[in-house]
């Protein structure tokens, strides 16, 4: 007859022989929920000050002897971090909070025959085709765009001081690989939707798994020989954030995907074209730094800036080549129509 000890020994042997159970991967939604819980818990944790203790006189010799032993063994150990000092956030932290805020936003229904309306302020420096010095940016002006939701209808671009421009009309145009680049001749006309040519229908169907989405962005923004694929991906995601109105789950995935791009940094303070100050996530390549500005309290995307990080033919380091500020997003039934109710980011 087996004893309880024999049964315990048998179970231990079987557990050793059997493989460990598989751990299922988390869904993007569950991953966002866990990140929200971790960040909210970290933000609510109270700060504690480390008390300072005096060494009693009777133990002074012993304490001194311990210090001498540590120093004799090599360089002193680094001091323990103070509990009342909060480290500066990294890009992943800022983008993670932006993803959580985006995921919690309500989704707006857009019918295929409707238009996505985006209102912004923009200010860009003049760039010469021969690559000479850039002229200083003019004052920020209003920009309105009506984009066909399914890409089959003619949209409209309206900017202060310029005639209205119909969108998706075949004809010769000058293309820019990125803001501030030398214009290249091309033809504008109907084409298949893509990361570089998004429609609302296309953006709404993008993957919500950040890894899958990032692979798609890299595949569709592959640069020419010698280009920086990470910067192309970062710029493309920034354009999607500023120039489209993706569903909350897709917007959150875009932020999560951007957090996986190497070389991103955080600027503690930056301003968009409307003068709104916030924290920025930035990435630099080729002497130019692209900055995404976020509201400090809501983590809402405010706008973009492009700044020279070193002296180039366009100007000295610190020259602002362009800036934008997203003011409103809405849905209309036809181009040129002003929606009575819009979704806005914080006004200046």
pLDDT digits (tens, 9 = 90+) for 284-332: 999 999 999 999 999 999 999 999 999 988 889 999 999 999 999 999 9
Please write the tens of the pLDDT for every residue from 41-67.
444 444 333 333 333 333 333 333 333
- pLDDT (tens digit per residue) in 76-101: 444 443 333 334 579 999 999 999 99
Spatial CA neighbour of 304 closest among 285, 325, 278, 319: 325
∠ CA 236-314-125, nearest 5°, is 65
SS3 302: strand
pTM of the complete model: 0.71
Q: Are 306 and 289 in contact (CB under 8 A)?
A: yes
Q: Which two tokens stand for residue 153?
A: 């209808």
Q: Is the pLDDT of residue 239 over 70?
A: yes
Q: For residue 256, give Cα distances in angstroms to 7, 103, 252.
A: 49, 11, 6
> Please, what is the end-to-end C-alpha distance for the chain in angstroms?
82
**Given this model, what pLDDT does residue 264 score?**
96
């Amino acid at each position: 007859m087996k004893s309880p000890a024999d049964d315990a020994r048998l179970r231990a042997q079987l557990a050793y022989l059997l493989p460990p159970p598989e751990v299922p991967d988390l869904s993007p939604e569950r991953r966002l929920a866990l990140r929200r819980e971790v960040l909210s818990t970290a933000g609510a944790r109270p700060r504690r000050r480390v008390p300072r203790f005096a060494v009693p006189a009777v133990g002074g010799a012993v304490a001194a002897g311990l210090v001498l032993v540590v120093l004799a063994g090599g360089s002193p150990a680094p001091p323990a971090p103070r509990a009342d000092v909060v480290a500066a956030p990294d890009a992943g932290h800022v983008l993670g909070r932006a993803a959580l805020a985006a995921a919690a936003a309500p989704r707006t229904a857009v019918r295929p025959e409707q238009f996505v309306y985006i209102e912004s302020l923009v200010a860009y420096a003049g760039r010469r085709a021969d690559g000479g010095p850039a002229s200083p940016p003019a004052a920020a002006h209003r920009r309105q765009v009506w984009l066909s939701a399914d890409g089959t209808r003619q949209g409209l671009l309206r900017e202060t001081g310029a005639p209205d421009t119909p969108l998706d009309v075949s004809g010769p145009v000058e293309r820019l690989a990125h803001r501030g680049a030398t214009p290249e001749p091309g033809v504008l006309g109907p084409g298949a939707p893509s990361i570089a040519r998004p429609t609302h229908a296309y953006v709404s169907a993008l993957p919500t798994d950040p890894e899958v989405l990032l692979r798609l962005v890299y595949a569709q923004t592959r640069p020419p020989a010698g280009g920086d694929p990470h910067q192309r991906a970062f710029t493309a995601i920034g354009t999607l954030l500023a120039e489209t109105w993706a569903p909350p789950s897709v917007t959150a995935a875009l932020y999560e995907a951007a957090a996986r791009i190497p070389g991103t940094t955080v600027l503690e303070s930056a301003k968009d074209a409307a003068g709104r100050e916030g924290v920025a996530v930035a990435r630099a390549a080729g002497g130019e730094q692209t900055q995404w500005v976020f509201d400090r309290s809501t983590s809402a995307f405010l706008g973009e800036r492009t700044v020279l990080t070193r002296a180039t033919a366009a100007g000295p380091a610190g020259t602002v080549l362009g800036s934008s500020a997203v003011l409103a997003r809405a849905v209309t039934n036809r181009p040129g129509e002003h929606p009575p109710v819009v979704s806005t980011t914080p006004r200046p």
